[in-house]
Amino acid sequence: MELPLTPMEFARRARRLYGSREAVVDGDLRLTYSEFFERCDRWSHVLQQQLNVGHGDRVAYIAPNTHAQLESFYAVPQIGAVLVPINYRLTPDDFAYIIGHSGAKVVCAHTDHLDAVDSIRDQLQDVESFIALEGGPRDGWLDYESLVGNARPEFLKPTIDEGDLLSINYTSGTTSRPKGVMITHRNAYMNIVGTLCHVSISAADTYLWTLPMFHANGWTFVWIITAMGARHVCLRRVEPARIFELINAEHVTMLCAAPTVLIGVANVPAELRKGVRQGVRVLTAGAPPAAATIARIEGEFGWEIIHVYGLTETAPFITICEPLPEHESLAPDDRAVVKARQGVELITSGELTVIDDDGHEVPWDGQTLGEIVVRGNVVMKGYYNDPEATAKAFEGGWFHSGDGAVIHPDGYAEVRDRIKDVIISGGENISSVEVEGVLLRHPAVQEAAVVGLPDEKWGEAPHAFVILKPGQTATSDELREFTRDRLAHFKAPHTVTFVNELPKTATGKIQKYVLRGGRAAIATQ
């Protein structure tokens, strides 16, 4: 009898083999795998029996990396429901859109975000239950810990097909409204297996949650670590000093981090990282990491950087910069240059290539730019309730990444630019169109264009080029604050350059590649 490919199979195995092993550390709370899964089962019972959540129903979460957030990745999908992990850095309006668009029946929120959800209650008419993950009883909210503590660790196990939805992960992309990426049980399973084929992980490992669990299901490490019986150490807020403290105190051996986190770690004062553990393995993705950052962390810290590449739409990994024996003979700086490439296909991810405008694979010369396209086991089912965007993304039978890349003679792909106008700042996608739309609401702004420019801390950050209306005035600080008041703060322009005109094509389209060439190239007022 065949069994469906689902991460819940890894949970079944972990229950049998690792029950007495420590599974989760969250502050003073420590749970064995038996205790952790009992809590998951109790919450599954509550969802089914008290909150009327059934197969295919959506359950939304707004929370940092806590034990309760980790429990959601088991308790929700094991009853056939669909998890909707939301970026807690977004605005209340973003929360309202995602909750409404996904059709979530239940909303679970950490205490830090209860007020934000309360402010949009009138827009959430279809939500039947609101659950406070921490903070105790509160008007209009059910208390998670009380519900879990009073429930039986029993639930009805539905038949789950590997093609069923496991999660809907919202990504901003390049449009003003987020798109819901439909990840199936099979998608996640194949990403987990592929990662384990290339990255050595065992029950002896301890994983530190520096990566948000909401971000592409924590790059599936919410299940990868459990599959091997390793330990999860929760980190609710990324603070470099706290990272080093936990690495030593909990004997951390592994973590995942966007390049912006790597930069923050690399620049921590020497006294804070004195005596830090050597040999920590760090997976990085989200934006191309700087070779200098890789060289510094490996050289000064004695850590190992593992560079992977992918998108939320690919569950998320497509490639890994697989180390080869010949790389070891390179000088450290040269080896870091190679490690900064996106690399080759994971063994289970499927087929990847880089194509030109005619759909042909580009030469493997390290120079010819094309678009990364992929097809295979990890590619999403589509965008939720958005057939038009789905059809566009899968044009020609391949998923189009929107990332411009070259292929080197050794077959390693390297991203050079984004074909779309998405800005990736600190691992977060920012829609330039969305930011421009807010700037244009300012009474003094006539035209605006937003692009990503290099930033030492964030890897890339949004910068605005603005034409003011005749006779109007505004300052950079004023426009930044205007944007921050209307969008998540990380989306606001870091700088504003006032210009007399914007470079445009004959049809009036702004040439953003000219703007990316540097502010000095633009005539300023």
Secondary structure (DSSP) of 139-205: TTBEEHHHHHHHS-S--------TTSEEEEEEE-TTSSS-EEEEEEHHHHHHHHHHHHHHS---TT-
Residue 233 and residue 242 in contact, taking contact as beta carbons nearer than 8 Å: no
pLDDT for 176: 57
Cα distances (Å, whole numbers) of residue 250 to 157, 239, 254, 411: 35, 16, 11, 39
- Cα-Cα-Cα-Cα dihedral sign, residues 350, 354, 359, 362: negative
- Same domain for 77 and 140, yes or no, is yes
* Position 383 in a domain: yes
The pTM of this model reads 0.84
Spell out the SS3 assignment of 419-465. CCCCEEECCEEECHHHHHHHHCCCCCEEEEEEEEEEECCCEEEEEEE
CB within 8 A of 226, min separation 6: which ones? 10, 11, 14, 23, 33, 232
* Position 211 in a domain: no
* Position 207 in a domain: no
pLDDT for 218: 96
Helices 259-266, 240-249: crossing angle, 10 deg rounding: 80
- Same domain for 154 and 53, yes or no, is yes
* Position 115 in a domain: yes
Q: Assign residue 367 the CATH number of its domain.
A: 2.30.38.10
Residue 168 and residue 188 in contact, taking contact as beta carbons nearer than 8 Å: no
Task: Examine the fold and report which residue of 137, 156, 190 is the final residue of a domain before the chain moves on.
Answer: 190
pLDDT for 518: 58
Residue 305 and residue 297 in contact, taking contact as beta carbons nearer than 8 Å: yes
Cα gap 29→18, rounded to integer Å: 18
Structure tokens at 491: 């989306």
Of 317, 294, 19, which Cα lies nearest the Cα of 197? 317
Cross-strand partners of 371:
355, 404
Query: 363: part of which helix (H) or strand (E)?
Result: none
CB within 8 A of 471, min separation 6: which ones? none
* Position 255 in a domain: no
Q: Assign residue 501 the CATH number of its domain.
A: 3.30.300.30
- Same domain for 28 and 154, yes or no, is yes
pLDDT for 340: 84
Structure tokens at 356: 């030109």
pLDDT for 520: 40
Secondary structure (DSSP) of 106-120: EEEE-GGGHHHHHTT
Task: Examine the fold and report which residue of 190, 219, 244 is the final residue of a domain before the chain moves on.
Answer: 190
Question: Which 3 state secondary structure label does DSSP give 383?
Answer: strand
Q: Where are the alpha helices (DSSP H) in 204-324?
A: 216-219, 221-227, 240-249, 259-266, 291-296
Task: Examine the fold and report which residue of 403, 418, 433 is the final residue of a domain before the chain moves on.
Answer: 418
- Same domain for 327 and 452, yes or no, is no
Half-sphere exposure of 197 (CA within 13 A, CB side): 15
Tens of pLDDT along the chain (525 residues) come to 789 999 999 999 999 999 999 999 999 999 999 999 999 999 999 999 999 999 999 999 999 999 999 999 999 999 999 999 999 988 899 999 999 999 999 999 999 999 999 999 999 999 999 999 998 788 999 999 999 999 999 999 999 999 999 999 998 644 458 899 999 999 999 999 999 999 999 999 999 999 999 999 999 999 999 999 999 999 999 888 899 999 999 999 999 998 778 877 887 888 878 888 999 999 998 766 667 678 888 988 999 999 999 999 999 999 999 988 988 888 888 888 888 899 999 999 999 999 999 999 999 999 888 899 999 999 999 999 999 999 999 999 999 998 888 999 999 998 876 666 668 888 787 877 678 878 888 989 888 889 998 888 888 899 999 999 888 999 999 999 999 999 998 999 999 999 998 887 433 457 787 888 755 444 443
Query: 102: part of which helix (H) or strand (E)?
Result: helix 92-102
Cα gap 234→216, rounded to integer Å: 17
- Same domain for 486 and 347, yes or no, is no
- Same domain for 501 and 394, yes or no, is no
Q: Assign residue 145 the CATH number of its domain.
A: 3.40.50.12780
Q: Where are the alpha helices (DSSP H) in 250-400?
A: 259-266, 291-296, 332-339, 387-393
CB within 8 A of 315, min separation 6: which ones? 183, 187, 188, 190, 191, 216, 217, 220, 378, 379, 380
- Same domain for 180 and 57, yes or no, is yes
- Same domain for 135 and 15, yes or no, is yes
Q: How many domains, in total, are found in the chain?
A: 3
Of 494, 401, 501, which Cα lies nearest the Cα of 454? 494
Domain range holding 35? 8-190
pLDDT for 172: 65
- Same domain for 397 and 432, yes or no, is no
* Position 204 in a domain: no
Measured in degrees and rounded to the nearest 5, phi and psi for residue 233 equal -115, 115
pLDDT for 521: 43
The phi-psi region of residue 70 (left if phi > 0; otherwise alpha if psi is between -120 and 50; otherwise beta) is: alpha
